[in-house]
Amino acid sequence: MKTRICDMLGIKYPIFQGAMAWIADASLASAVSEAGGLGIIAAGNAPAEVVREEIRKCRELTDKPFGVNIMLLSPFVEDIVDLVCEEGVKVLTTGAGNPSKYMERFKENGIHLIPVVPSIAQARKMEKIGCDAVIAEGMESGGHIGKLTTMALVPQVVDAVSIPVIAAGGIADGRGMAAGFMLGAEGVQIGTRFLVAKECTVHQNYKNRILKAKDLDTVITGNITGHPVRVIKNQLANSFLSAEKEEMGKEHPDMARFDVLGKGALQKAVKEGDMDHGSVMSGQIAGLVKEEQTCKEILEDIMDGFNKLTKGLE
Ligand code: TUI
């Protein structure tokens, strides 16, 4: 299966590995790229020097194309923009905001920019400023999410723009990939399934939590902050939800409570494996993820399922 995305980026399979903050490092990204997908290093909230090291490590581990993701709410966003230009990164995805103001610099540096869009308006804007493709990410995804589901968002984005659309949110196997393609997508982005990849360096407790997750285990916290985040339900998520309920009724809600509750919580889950007080971001599809595999095995399983389902179609 070759699409415009494969030709544009020089990859074998039109499958992106989702950029998971504090998790998607050189180890995961290089393994996905080596296996034929697009590995992506997540800059997340990390300082530029940390990201530089991951980019350089990734280059040592693979000579295949890989990308970097800029999380636009990061305090280091300007430094990361400088960094990707300096390091000659070829593919960039963005999340959690509008990358318009950096577009000129990306173009000057020959970077393919592929932003995540949560709506049709945002997709149109991204096409207009010259983006090469967009990732239409539904609210089934883990982490920071928009309001629409993948099923509703993807075909509307496909109809609204002529650049390639990558479907994301709720996809973890060949069936999900085929469904995305039926909606008009030319690629898919997969996060949650790569959390349990052998090459993924996230704490083993995090992997085990994903492996035992059931369909209803995720909740959305942070609606009150304007940055809703899908996580696995735990003590932290419950505290967050109760605090939101309390503050929601107030004329002057105490927003500082949410900073305190959220601070460092993702790292606590990712690095320390604290499944009670950490932020365990995960997509709704975690219930389908049952096995630790190498990135190569994961990609081959997805492509195998996809090819069986789409054989004879065209
Ligand atoms: O960015 C993500 N997922 C993320 S980022 C992240 S780190 C984080 N941690 C705590 C709070 C916030 C972030 C964890 N997961 N996905 C891509 C995504 N982008 N989802 C939604 C959006 C988005 C939202 C608004 C993209 C553009 C947008 O535009 C609004 C504007 O500024 O015009």
Task: Tell whether 99 and 165 lie within a shared domain.
Answer: yes
Task: Tell whether 61 and 189 lie within a shared domain.
Answer: yes
Task: Tell whether 150 and 258 lie within a shared domain.
Answer: no
Please name the residue whose Cα sits nearest to atom 33 of ligand 1: 98
Q: What would the mean pLDDT of 193-198 be, rounded to a whole number?
A: 98
C-alpha 121/C-alpha 135 separation (Å) is 13
C-alpha 134/C-alpha 157 separation (Å) is 9
Report if residue 32 sits inside a domain. Answer: yes
What is the average pLDDT value for the chain, to the nearest integer?
97
Report if residue 211 sits inside a domain. Answer: no
Closest CA to 18 of 279, 219, 228, 193: 193
Task: Tell whether 161 and 275 lie within a shared domain.
Answer: no
Task: Tell whether 144 and 243 lie within a shared domain.
Answer: no
Task: Tell whether 88 and 149 lie within a shared domain.
Answer: yes
CA of 116 to the centre of ligand 1 (A): 8
Task: Tell whether 104 and 235 lie within a shared domain.
Answer: no
- Which residues form the domain of 241? 218-281
Are the beta carbons of 42 and 69 closer than 8 angstroms? yes
Report if residue 48 sits inside a domain. Answer: yes
Task: Tell whether 126 and 270 lie within a shared domain.
Answer: no
Neighbours of 92 (CB within 10 A): 26
Least confident of 11-25, 79-93, 136-150, 300-314: 300-314
Indicate which CATH number applies to the domain containing 65: 3.20.20.70
Task: Tell whether 115 and 244 lie within a shared domain.
Answer: no
Task: Tell whether 196 and 227 lie within a shared domain.
Answer: no
The upper half-sphere exposure of residue 162, i.e. CA atoms within 13 Å in the direction of its Cβ, equals: 2
Task: Tell whether 163 and 82 lie within a shared domain.
Answer: yes
Report if residue 212 sits inside a domain. Answer: no
Number of structural domains (the chain) is 2
C-alpha 143/C-alpha 141 separation (Å) is 7
Closest CA to 138 of 124, 151, 120: 151
Q: What are phi and psi of 116, to 5 degrees?
A: -80, 135
CA of 268 to the centre of ligand 1 (A): 20
Report if residue 208 sits inside a domain. Answer: no
Element (H, E) at 244: helix 235-248
Q: In this predicted model, what pLDDT tens digit does every residue of 113-162 receive, in sequence order?
A: 999 999 999 999 999 999 999 999 999 999 999 999 999 999 999 999 99
- Check pocket membership of 30 for ligand 1, CB cut-off 6 A: no
Q: In this predicted model, what pLDDT tens digit does every residue of 36-68 receive, in sequence order?
A: 999 999 999 999 999 999 999 999 999 999 999
Residue 206: per-residue pLDDT = 98
Neighbours of 243 (CB within 10 A): 18
